[in-house]
Amino acid sequence: MEKCRNIQAMKLLILTFLLTIATACSDSFLDVPPQGKVKAEDFFLTEADATEAVNSIYGNLRGWTNVAFAPMALESLGSDDAEKGSDPSDASFLNAFDNFTVTATEGQIYDFWSGRYLDINLCNQLIDNIQNIPMNEGLKARYVAEAKFARAYAYFRLVRAFGDIPLRLTVPKGASEFNIPRTPKAEVYAAIERDLTEAASVLPVSYTGSDIGKFTRGAALSLNAKVAMYQNKWTEVRDLTNQVIALGYTLFPNYYQLFRVANENSSESIFEIQATLVPGNGAVSNSQYSQIQGVRGTDAGWGFNVPTQDLADFYEAGDPRRDATIIFSGEITPDGDAIPSNTPNPRYNQKSYVPFSQLDLQLTPGCQQNVRVIRFADVLLMNAEANNELGNASAALASLELVRARARNGNNAILPQVTTTDQAQLRQAIWRERRAELAMEFDRYFDVIRQGRGLQVFGPKGWKANKNEVWPIPQREIDLSSGVLVQNPGY
């Protein structure tokens, strides 16, 4: 994707009024006309308008509520891989996510909720308004498919975080359509699956030139496989991942280099949130994903979301993924950066690391770091788990070995090949591999919960069954709904 597009200004022009009220609002608010904003009927007129609208979807994905504090809080800090980090007094409210004392009034809960509905509303605007635009029909279909993928991704993050949620597939057209109740999660999952199936039928396998990094068929199939995995639909997981495998993705040979800026959108990349550094342009160079996790006490960042000692101790002896995932205080990184030995935290996330020589201190440090959301390694491990659950141990072992072989080869690592065909033992081996391979990528927390092991793994941190499977619905949304939205049990 062309990273230099200045999409932020246009994003703000597109129906700011509707973006603000993506969930519930009052009639009195509806009576206030938006000032200086472009109405939908005055905007979606040309192919250029449609292009700006789809660009706004991509640009919003790297915004604060998509890649910074809110996702860190809800998708990472509850796990045994990560803890708050930084100085003890800095953003101490984040500890509530680590020890499961968070309440419905916590700001990150609201940011995560409202941020995802902003994503969804941008998608709904495009889908609702593009059909009457005179433009290339093939491009029109692709734009709709891109919006459906992004909408599915937002709903997937919402449904696994909150359970039942309001399902909104069109832009509200009247006051009565703003305040809607929660939809059962099974129906939300079904809507996600429809969006992804339709997107996969249209999206190309790959792009060239300035379009590299846009949503692909492989991304839609892979996310659909993960959605199926969260519902234990193992036949669908196997079939969908087999389709992705057939598309020709390969594992990038060097695990450490896989996460460096120079190797973004590599042969292993299936879905990355695109970020960019444009000298002198802070509106575009705005991703704070790397900054919030960068080594505290250096110019790299704030030092949040740090790896735990439990994660550091988890890896098998000699597994190179340990050092590629964790920056240790006092070390010299493979890129030659000397990490101070007196940093506030002993460990930092190396997967979000941008070498110090690449930082532009006039802009957001590390703003060029893409966020790896789905990698081919994840697809192989989903395929392994599905085959094991379906009783095909040999196919499961083959996919599992591909991931372990990458960690082993060229690194002199002594990682024995998994050979067990016992279903329970192989299941545990696949789950262990998911942790080693995907650590610090905002996957572990909900992965453990969907495996049914929340109490076993997170119980010592305060996690409670029949409550902490989901986070609380933001109290602000419940209040605005006048009770139409109901709170999750236990909050």
CATH number at residue 158: 1.25.40.390
The answer for 175, left when phi > 0, alpha when psi is -120 to 50, beta otherwise, is: alpha
- pLDDT attached to residue 412: 61
Please say whether the beta carbons of 425 and 397 come within 8 A: no
Residue 190 sits in the same domain as residue 299: no
- pLDDT attached to residue 414: 80
- pLDDT attached to residue 39: 63
What does DSSP say about strands 371-375 and 326-328: parallel, antiparallel, or unpaired? unpaired
Q: What are the b/e assignments for 272-297, b being 16+ CB within 10 Å?
A: bbbbbbbeeeeebbbbbbbbbbbbbb
Q: Which of 335, 369, 403 is the last residue of a domain?
A: 369
Residue 191 sits in the same domain as residue 309: no
- pLDDT attached to residue 190: 98
DSSP-derived letter for residue 440 is: T
Please say whether the beta carbons of 160 and 442 come within 8 A: no
Please say whether the beta carbons of 188 and 165 come within 8 A: yes
- pLDDT attached to residue 41: 66
Output the six-digit token pair for 407. Answer: 């960690």
Q: Is 401 contained in some domain?
A: no
Concatenated DSSP letters for 86-107?
S-TTTTGGGHHHHTT---TT-H
- pLDDT attached to residue 31: 36
Residue 57 sits in the same domain as residue 193: yes
Q: Is 257 contained in some domain?
A: no
Q: Nearest CA to 369 among 300, 417, 438?
A: 300
CB atoms within 10 A of CB 7: 21
In angstroms, the CA 249 to CA 406 distance is 14
- pLDDT attached to residue 14: 42
- pLDDT attached to residue 409: 79
Residue 195 sits in the same domain as residue 321: no
Residues of the chain with pLDDT under 70: 1-41, 410-413
| Separation of first and last alpha carbons in the chain | 42
In angstroms, the CA 86 to CA 83 distance is 10
Using CB atoms within 10 A of its CB, is residue 16 exposed (0-12), middle (13-18) or buried (19+)? middle
Residue 188 sits in the same domain as residue 336: no
In angstroms, the CA 343 to CA 347 distance is 9
Q: Is 320 contained in some domain?
A: yes
Residue 312 sits in the same domain as residue 196: no
- pLDDT attached to residue 359: 97
Residue 162 sits in the same domain as residue 300: no
Q: Is 489 contained in some domain?
A: no
What SS3 class is residue 84? Answer: strand
Q: How far is CA 241 from CA 191, 373, 376, 398, 436, in A?
A: 20, 16, 10, 14, 20
Q: How many residues does the chain have?
A: 491
Residue 295's domain comprises 289-369
Q: Is 480 contained in some domain?
A: no
- pLDDT attached to residue 174: 83
- pLDDT attached to residue 477: 97
Residue 72 sits in the same domain as residue 179: yes
What SS3 class is residue 182? Answer: coil
Please say whether the beta carbons of 49 and 133 come within 8 A: yes
In angstroms, the CA 206 to CA 197 distance is 17
- pLDDT attached to residue 411: 61
Q: Which of 341, 369, 397 is the last residue of a domain?
A: 369
Residue 10 sits in the same domain as residue 156: yes
Q: Which residues pair with 456 in a beta bridge?
A: none
Dihedral Cα 159, 161, 163, 165, nearest 10 deg: -60
Residue 38 sits in the same domain as residue 149: yes
Residue 112 sits in the same domain as residue 3: yes
Output the six-digit token pair for 76. Answer: 């990472």
Q: If you search the block for the tokens 């119980």, which residue do you land on? A: 459
- pLDDT attached to residue 37: 53
What SS3 class is residue 320? Answer: helix
The CB-side HSE value for 384 (13 A sphere, CA atoms) comes to 26
Q: If you search the block for the tokens 């395929």, which residue do you land on? A: 383
What does DSSP say about strands 82-85 and 304-307: parallel, antiparallel, or unpaired? antiparallel
In angstroms, the CA 58 to CA 306 distance is 27
Q: Which of 347, 369, 391 is the last residue of a domain?
A: 369
The total number of structural domains in the chain stands at 2
- pLDDT attached to residue 413: 63
In angstroms, the CA 98 to CA 462 distance is 8
